[in-house]
Amino acid sequence: MDKTNPDQPNGNGETNGTERRRRNPNPYRQNRPAQEGEKKAHAPEEPAREGGNGNNSRGRNRNRNRRPNDTTNPQSNQNRDNTPKQDGNKKPGNRRTAGRGNSRGGRRKQIPTNVPPEMRAALIENDEVQDARMNPWQQLDPTLKGKLRFTPLGGLGEIGGNIAVLESEESAIIIDVGMSFPDETMHGVDILVPDFSYLHVVKDKIKGIVITHGHEDHIGAMAYLFKELKFPIYGTPLVLAMIENKFNEHGLSADTKYFNYIIKRRQYTLGDFKVEWMHMTHSIVDSNSLAIETPIGTIIHTADFKIDHTPIDGYTADLHRFAHYGAKGVLCLFSDSTNSHNQGFTKSEAVVGKTFDNLFELAQGRVIMSTFSSNVHRIYQAMERGVKHGRKIAVIGRSMERNIEVTRKLGFVDIEDKHFIEAHEVGKYKDEEILVITTGSQGETMAALSRMATDEHRHIKLKPTDTVIISASAIPGNEASVSKLMNLLMKAGVTVRYKEFSDIHVSGHAGQEEQKLILRLVQPKFFLPVHGEYNHIAAHAKTAVTCGVDERNILLMSDGDQIEITPKYIKKVKTIKVGKTYIDNQNNKPIQHDVVDDRQKLATDGIVNVVLQVSKQTGKVLGKPIVTSHGLVPDKEDKKFATEVEQLIEQYLLNSQLEKSGNPKVVEDDLRGIVRKHVVRTRKRYPIILPTVFFV
């Protein structure tokens, strides 16, 4: 290495701090305050965030002879067993604490003067090197003009439905376009897709859609977006092949012309942004994180991730690139928060294979394995065990068949054709020679496993000798459906392998220690936790504080919050309209919100129908009103309730002159209000009331 060149990198990818500091004692701290014994002073730097004290080195130097008060900051007390005890009255959240990650990383109390000059110089130099290493974001130019805006349209405050917009003043990109699942109140709704209203507002700025990976909660709404707006799509070949299947299903085959196949570790220019895909491990093949260079600094977006050191395909997370960008200085990190409450590390996908070994050994008859259709590594491990035990493989379920077909075609799954059979061929083989890979691990009513459990599947009829492996955990909100499925399988007499085997399923999301690893590799100035409910992002924020991010440089977002990012601050500037569109998968068409609201009201409060005929000449009711109700009173009380409503109608007629109004709509509105008041008063319910009046 040429030590005369202050900018030449050393073996760790860092610049030669020693030679550089001979020209400038601290290149990250221009015009720094005087050292101990000097009289020079400086005004504080502009705050790092509105209302804050600033994330600046000069504020830190004013306190360099003071120790953080660990006793006032519980987070700085974590993992202190092997660290020197410190004292003092420094408040938590100060620049020293925030800049170093915690109080243990702060500067020494003072540089000793009773040591040889060479030793003192080395102490000072090492202190400066440590400061530069722990705060690489200080290399960012705070004088750069411009701002970014980040707007999550889905994926915050919920699990799934991930979509966000990143904007500069001239350009914008969309990050993922995912769907989510309905809750139990959304009757007849199969999936939810984001409201794309904001994309219409900024459509002239949008340069493209960048896709991180192929999970439904990241690509499931692509076809619905393309029915409204069309933009270039950037993703790996596998992701785009999965999107192509969706486009074909929706009659959008021609829109594959918008596809752009990316190469990892290569930058792609989209307007003001330069985007690089970095390989990441997750519960789906070919997942990626994003490094986005913007006019004011680098943004890192982890997308969904975990750090698996023994992945099934052998491709570990590209941590080198995270470290590369971290050393250069990262303005803001967006990171997956789904498992923020889980301490430690998420287990490797490889441990599931060992569990499969045991389960296949125990199985006497057919093995039926159900998991997420996108979890190719899980499916591949089950297939390997099936082949090893001489079993033929039958893949059942449209999404499962489609994903396996694509991944085999692209070379991600290496199982020969001779090992596969069609579902209708299962009966030709002995039970111990069959492995069925199927959908339905979430208890979906129309999925293959549920139809098997209810004896409605055409080709698979469950037997007591069958072993059913459910290699998945219930998505939040699906617990009741999974429990119902389990009950049906038990009633069918099969052997069910589920949670009693601890490693039958592992998560695809990072635990706290993996989140810490990314935070320490990137060491960003600002941090925005994403992907998850509010409690998840709040827990992730606490983890970030323990890893050196100033709590004033962290914001907790909800869908629709628009965050402004500059080199000096982050802040929420406004809230934009967001929401969900209800989709019926039977016809791939949206369901209007008022329809779903009516369904829910029918389910909870019932309906009352009132039909009567009124004479135009006399204004009198002809015959008796017809009153029927559903979901409001028991059958044995129908007559009593009908009599109550008839009496209300008679009272109304005594006080009204129907022959003068002659307008059925007026009479219907009056009757609706009268009946509603009666039902609320007597039964505390709010049914749908449908009066129909005929003037004859």
- pLDDT per residue as tens digits for the range 276-298: 999 999 999 999 999 999 999 99
- The Cα–Cα gap between 314 and 307 comes to 13
- The Cα–Cα gap between 225 and 195 comes to 9
Quick one: DSSP state of residue 669?
Answer: H
Six-digit token string for 675: 């009946």
Q: What is the pLDDT of residue 621?
A: 77
CB atoms within 10 A of CB 324: 16
Please say whether the beta carbons of 300 and 333 come within 8 A: yes
Q: What is the pLDDT of residue 181?
A: 83
Fold observed for domain 606-695? Ubiquitin-like (UB roll) (3.10.20)
- The Cα–Cα gap between 635 and 642 comes to 11
Q: Is the pLDDT of residue 435 over 70?
A: yes
Q: Is the pLDDT of residue 90 over 80?
A: no
Look at residues 423, 350, 428 and name the one whose alpha carbon lies nearest to residue 384. Answer: 350
Q: Is the pLDDT of residue 375 over 80?
A: yes
Look at residues 448, 548, 423, 441 and name the one whose alpha carbon lies nearest to residue 486. Answer: 441
| Mean pLDDT of the region 160-181 | 95
Decide whether 350-497 matches 606-695 in CATH topology: no
Quick one: DSSP state of residue 40?
Answer: -
pLDDT single digits (tens) 567-622: 999 999 999 999 999 988 777 788 888 888 888 888 888 999 999 887 777 767 78
Q: What is the pLDDT of residue 661?
A: 56
Six-digit token string for 346: 């998420």
Name beta bridge partners: 468: 368, 496
Name beta bridge partners: 335: 529
Fold observed for domain 148-344+508-584? Metallo-beta-lactamase; Chain A (3.60.15)
Q: What is the pLDDT of residue 658?
A: 59
The average confidence (pLDDT) of the chain is 84
- The Cα–Cα gap between 453 and 443 comes to 10
Six-digit token string for 392: 């033929």
Q: What is the pLDDT of residue 106?
A: 52
Quick one: DSSP state of residue 92?
Answer: T
Q: What is the pLDDT of residue 348?
A: 95
pTM score over 0.85:
no
For 65, the enclosing helix (H) or strand (E) is none
CB atoms within 10 A of CB 684: 8
Half-sphere exposure of residue 556: CA atoms within 13 angstroms, side-chain side: 15
Q: What is the pLDDT of residue 81?
A: 40
Q: Is the pLDDT of residue 367 over 70?
A: yes
What percent of the chain lies above the pLDDT cut of 70?
A: 83
661 Cβ neighbours under 8 A, 6+ residues apart: 667
Q: What is the pLDDT of residue 1?
A: 42
Q: What is the pLDDT of residue 54?
A: 40
Name beta bridge partners: 277: 290
Q: What is the pLDDT of residue 623?
A: 82
Per-residue confidence band for 660, with pLDDT thresholds at 50, 70 and 90: low
Tally of helices (H runs) and strands (E runs) in the chain: 20, 26
- 593-622 as b/e, with b when 16 or more CB fall inside 10 Å? eeebeebebeeebbbbebebbbeeeebebe
Burial of residue 551, with CB atoms counted within 10 A of its CB: 0-12 exposed, 13-18 middle, 19 or more buried: middle
Q: Is the pLDDT of residue 107 over 80?
A: no
Q: What is the pLDDT of residue 277?
A: 98
Q: What is the pLDDT of residue 560?
A: 95
Q: What is the pLDDT of residue 523?
A: 96
Which of 298-307, 475-484, 582-591 tops mean pLDDT? 298-307
- The Cα–Cα gap between 695 and 553 comes to 69
Three-state DSSP at 467 gives: strand
Domain-by-domain residue ranges, the chain?
Answer: 17-134, 148-344+508-584, 350-497, 606-695
| Mean pLDDT of the region 461-473 | 94
432 Cβ neighbours under 8 A, 6+ residues apart: 363, 364, 365, 366, 391
Higher pLDDT pick, 316 / 599 = 316
CA 496 to chain centroid, in Å, comes to 30
| Mean pLDDT of the region 324-347 | 96
Fold observed for domain 350-497? Rossmann fold (3.40.50)
Higher pLDDT pick, 70 / 137 = 137
Q: What is the pLDDT of residue 201?
A: 96
